[in-house]
Amino acid sequence: MSVHVSHKEPLLRIAKRASIPAWKAWLIRILSVVLALLLSGAFIYAITGLNPVEVYKAMAQGAFGSERRSWVTIRDAMMLLCIGIGLAPAFKMRFWNIGAEGQILVGGCATAGFMIYFGGKLPTPVLLLLMAAVSLIAGAVWGIVPAIFKARWGTNETLFTLMMNYVAIQITSYCVALWENPVGSNTVGVINQKTKAGWFPELFGQDYGLNVLIVAVLTVGMFLYLRYTKQGYEIAVVGESENTARYAGIKLSKVFIRTMAISGAICGLAGFIAVAGASHTISTSTAGGRGFTAIIVAWLAKFNTFVMVLISFLLVFLQKGAVQIATQFKLNDFASEVITGIILFCIIGSEFFIQYRLIFRGRKEAGKA
């Protein structure tokens, strides 16, 4: 082995930041969004020759172009946020709940069933409360089952919750066949279209006012639960180290089951909101992959429910905008997904620059961002 070493400093080094002021962290995040827009602009121009500014305008149009569109955007963001809030305690406990899809579906099925069988027989406020309750219970059951298996036999919760999704999809298919209307359509159709029994009433003069109210209460409630309660503290300890939790005298099985009941119940409630507060029908696509998208919402926000509000809106905005530019400029869906991908990549990537800083060759310890 001969001594063959260059005498130069490496070109680039990475050092962990000791700390970073909050304004700087936010500046980096905002810069990352700007960079993302520039990159996708370049991409759009390279592929289509369209003016990127026009395309961005169209995206904004798609999401907030009219009052109706704005409310649909808000409704969808609330839905995503609700699921994210449900996932937060589970993931904070490092319990990989990949089963939100199934929890939403069983919550939705329970809601739809009550809507069909009790619509018109009970006053709407009573029916709504009843539907909320059964959706919570159904979701909680779907969450508890994998938790019990993990607590008792140490099964892997990721696989378990994932497989529970397929069970839920099959149950939903069965329900759709059972409640088919009109016969032969292979859909449930809009439930109680004439009577609107069991539909969310208008609140503040808005169709989706109640959706916003429910999710807003959950946002604040979950924030307080995780940060200030004894149970929230237990979740944090278990998530960090199961050994430490045992050492502290925390019963792991109890915390697993309790937390997954809460997580599943909130996801079930999201099913209730989706059925009674938005689509007024049930199908296997009621969850529509949002149970997975919400995982990104929960993690990106580091389980802070207020940050989740921002991220939910961003994701829904991107999705609405993507659909709009796809139709308006005859770009196909994939082009818009690329843009979404670029933007998410930049935002997630910005976290790296918040954690670490780069030092270039020849630069002394300037410590600049």
Partner 1 sequence: MRGITKTFGPIVANHKVDLEIRRGEILSLLGENGSGKTTLMNMLSGIYFPDEGEILVGGQSVAIRSPKDAFDLKIGMIHQHFKLVDVLTAAENIVLGLREPGGLNLKAAAARIREICGRYGFQVDPEQKVYDMSVSQKQTVEIVKVLYRGADILILDEPTAVLTPQETEKLFDVLRNMKADGKAVVIITHKLHEVMEISDRVAVLRKGEYIGDVATSETSPQALTDMMVGRAVSLNIERPLVETRNLRLEVKDLSVRTAEGVLALDNVTFQAYGGEILGVAGISGSGQKELLEAIAGLQSALPGAHIIYHPPAPDEPVAGRHVPVDRAGEELVGKDPLQIRRIGVSMAFVPEDRLGMGLVGSMGMPDNMMLKSYRAGHGPLADRRPSRALAQKVKEELEVVTPSLSTPVRRLSGGNVQKVLVGRELASSPTLLMTAYAVRGLDINTSYTIYRLLNEQKKQGAAVIFVGEDLDVLLELCDRILVLCAGHVNGVVDARTATKEEVGLLMTRLKKEGEQA
Q: Which residues bind partner 1 (CB under 8 A)?
A: 1-10, 13, 15-19, 228-234, 236-237, 240-241, 243-244, 246-251, 359, 364-365, 367
Backbone angles phi, psi at 12, to 5 degrees: -135, 135
C-alpha to C-alpha distance for 347 and 165, rounded to whole angstroms: 29
CA-nearest of 32, 34, 56, 256 to 145 is: 256
Minimum CB separation from partner 1 for residue 20, in Å?
Answer: 11
Give the tokens for residue 86: 């449900």
C-alpha to C-alpha distance for 120 and 194, rounded to whole angstroms: 11
Q: Can you say whether the dihedral through the CA atoms of 235, 241, 247, 252 is positive or negative? A: positive
C-alpha to C-alpha distance for 76 and 290, rounded to whole angstroms: 10
C-alpha to C-alpha distance for 100 and 121, rounded to whole angstroms: 31
With respect to partner 1, which residue has the nearer C-beta, 194 or 368? Answer: 368
The helix/strand/coil state of 88 is helix
With respect to partner 1, which residue has the nearer C-beta, 233 or 329? Answer: 233
The helix/strand/coil state of 233 is helix
Minimum CB separation from partner 1 for residue 364, in Å?
Answer: 8
With respect to partner 1, which residue has the nearer C-beta, 248 or 348? Answer: 248
- What value, to the nearest 5°, has the Cα angle with vertex 266 and ends 316 and 349? 40
With respect to partner 1, which residue has the nearer C-beta, 49 or 249? Answer: 249
Interhelix angle 52-64/305-328, nearest 10 degrees: 120
Minimum CB separation from partner 1 for residue 238, in Å?
Answer: 10
Minimum CB separation from partner 1 for residue 67, in Å?
Answer: 41
With respect to partner 1, which residue has the nearer C-beta, 142 or 256? Answer: 256
With respect to partner 1, which residue has the nearer C-beta, 39 or 250? Answer: 250
Minimum CB separation from partner 1 for residue 84, in Å?
Answer: 21
With respect to partner 1, which residue has the nearer C-beta, 6 or 66? Answer: 6
C-alpha to C-alpha distance for 354 and 312, rounded to whole angstroms: 21
Minimum CB separation from partner 1 for residue 254, in Å?
Answer: 11
The helix/strand/coil state of 357 is strand
Minimum CB separation from partner 1 for residue 245, in Å?
Answer: 9
Place of tokens 């991107």: 318
With respect to partner 1, which residue has the nearer C-beta, 127 or 226? Answer: 226
C-alpha to C-alpha distance for 76 and 82, rounded to whole angstroms: 10
Minimum CB separation from partner 1 for residue 226, in Å?
Answer: 11
Place of tokens 């979701």: 139
With respect to partner 1, which residue has the nearer C-beta, 61 or 231? Answer: 231
Contact by Cβ (8 Å): 283, 190: no
C-alpha to C-alpha distance for 191 and 185, rounded to whole angstroms: 14
Minimum CB separation from partner 1 for residue 146, in Å?
Answer: 22
With respect to partner 1, which residue has the nearer C-beta, 80 or 222? Answer: 222
* HSE of 59, CA atoms in CB hemisphere, 13 A: 24
- The burial class, CB within 10 Å (0-12 / 13-18 / 19+), for 64 is middle
Amino acid residing at 112: A
Minimum CB separation from partner 1 for residue 303, in Å?
Answer: 12
